[in-house]
Amino acid sequence: MKCLKKYLLKLEKSKPVRTAADDADKKEILLNPILVKSFEVIKKELGEVIGKDDTTFGYTQITLGYENWKAEDILKAVLPANQEGAQSFSIVGHILHLNLREHLLPYKTLIGEVYLDKVPNISMVVNKVNTIDSTYRNFQMEILGGTGDTLVTVKENGCSFTMDFARVYWNPRLSTEHSRVVGKLQHGDVLYDVMAGVGPFAVPAGRKKCYVLANDLNPDSFDALVKNCTKNKVVERVKCFNMDGHDFIQTTLKADLIQRWKDPYFVGGVHITMNLPALAVTFLSSFQGLMSGVQEVSQDVELPVVHVYMFTKETADDVAIGQVAENLGYLSKPSEAAGGAVRATRSGATLLNMAPKAPGKEEIC
């Protein structure tokens, strides 16, 4: 009965409505004893049903086992008091990825076994054991449970991505941000993806019939990027590069952008994505004087929209704006961030605060 739905006893591997043990023609409805202390609690929900002779209310004992509890309930029961922090995880393909804090490391094997048992469609549980490598954006991991390889396939924004999760960077929590940026692109726009990874910006942009130059320094990411472009049938619109980001900006991006600006028939917009939060803001220095000495480009061209990501321990907008202004050469040191350089930079900037990555660390675009 729908009126009792909120009172049902909901447990893993257990059905709240079952055939009565003493009469195969009757049904038993198991109610949550925390919510229903007496029959009086649900009288108003049952209404006229109460008066029927075949409706009874009573108590019974049921035996619950390991299979009846969710992973978070089990971990809360078996870990020492106040040892929270094991409930947050990401799933990438068949891999469940944890980032356990130090106080939980003595229990890591137990935690891995519980998640392997309880979370459907996974065959491996891993834990990150160091920070993300700033050069190649990958991290060392240890297997807490399960077996197999780390080659995964995931779907996002209508595209399929295959990668070796142990050798590249992939964060499923960024899917909304990928959608937001790609949603700004129109047919015929140009996207320069300076730190493209395995293609979460580049591939769906290619699907929208944008022209994309996608670059990543990590050879494993580059290899996956090329294969993902082929898999998603965007090879004619996405060109892939395996270069340092500074070199990519100062050579490939510059040359292509000049050609776009010189083309009288080009009417699309230009976007640049730089998603390497630990370092991306420092790559803005490569734009300083990038077009100095270029004579054949009109002064009234539409400038690109740059999406640059960074980590900051401060939530004040001026801190992020100050980092941008400093790396664009508008000020010599962050302490000048309250001055006119920040006001000038802010006039052309929009800040978005991404989901917190860790206590005291925000990601800003």
Q: For 305-336, what is each residue's pLDDT tens digit?
A: 999 998 777 656 677 788 888 888 876 554 44
End-to-end, the C-alpha distance of the chain in Å comes to 49
Amino acid sitting at position 125: V
Closest residue by Cα to residue 209 from 226, 176, 232, 241: 232
Are 277 and 310 contacting, i.e. CB atoms less than 8 angstroms apart? yes
User: What's the rounded Cα separation, in Å, for the pair 339 and 353?
Assistant: 23
Which residues lie closer than 8 Å to 315 by C-beta, 6 or more apart? 353, 362
Mean pLDDT of 33-62: 70
pLDDT digit string (tens) for 86-117? Answer: 778 999 999 999 989 888 999 999 999 999 99
Which residues lie closer than 8 Å to 74 by C-beta, 6 or more apart? 66, 114, 118
pLDDT digit string (tens) for 262-293? Answer: 998 999 999 999 998 888 899 999 999 898 88
List binding-site positions for S-adenosyl-L-methionine. Answer: 178, 216-217, 244-245, 275
Mean pLDDT of 47-68: 74
Residue 9 has a pLDDT of 87
- Residue showing tokens 């920040």: 342
User: What's the rounded Cα separation, in Å, for the pair 324 and 342?
Assistant: 9
List binding-site positions. Answer: 178, 216-217, 244-245, 275
- 350 has a pLDDT exceeding 80: no
Mean pLDDT of 333-348: 46
Alpha-carbon dihedral angle through residues 105, 109, 115, 121, given to the nearest 10 degrees: 120
- Residue showing tokens 């409505």: 17
- The rounded percent of the chain whose pLDDT value lies above 70 is 82
Which residues lie closer than 8 Å to 25 by C-beta, 6 or more apart? none
pLDDT digit string (tens) for 154-207? Answer: 999 999 999 999 999 998 989 999 999 999 999 999 999 999 999 999 999 999
Categorize the per-residue pLDDT at 46 as very low, low, confident or very high, splitting at 50, 70 and 90: low
Which stretches within 91-158 are classed as H helix?
108-118
pLDDT digit string (tens) for 170-183? Answer: 989 899 999 999 99
| CB neighbourhood size of 77 (10 A) | 8
- 53 has a pLDDT exceeding 60: no
Task: Please tell me the pTM assigned to this model.
Answer: 0.82
Domains of the chain with CATH codes:
2-51 (no CATH), 75-148 (3.30.300.110), 154-308 (3.40.50.150)
User: What's the rounded Cα separation, in Å, for the pair 220 and 136?
Assistant: 9
For 216, what's the count of Cα atoms within 13 Å in the CB-facing half-sphere?
25
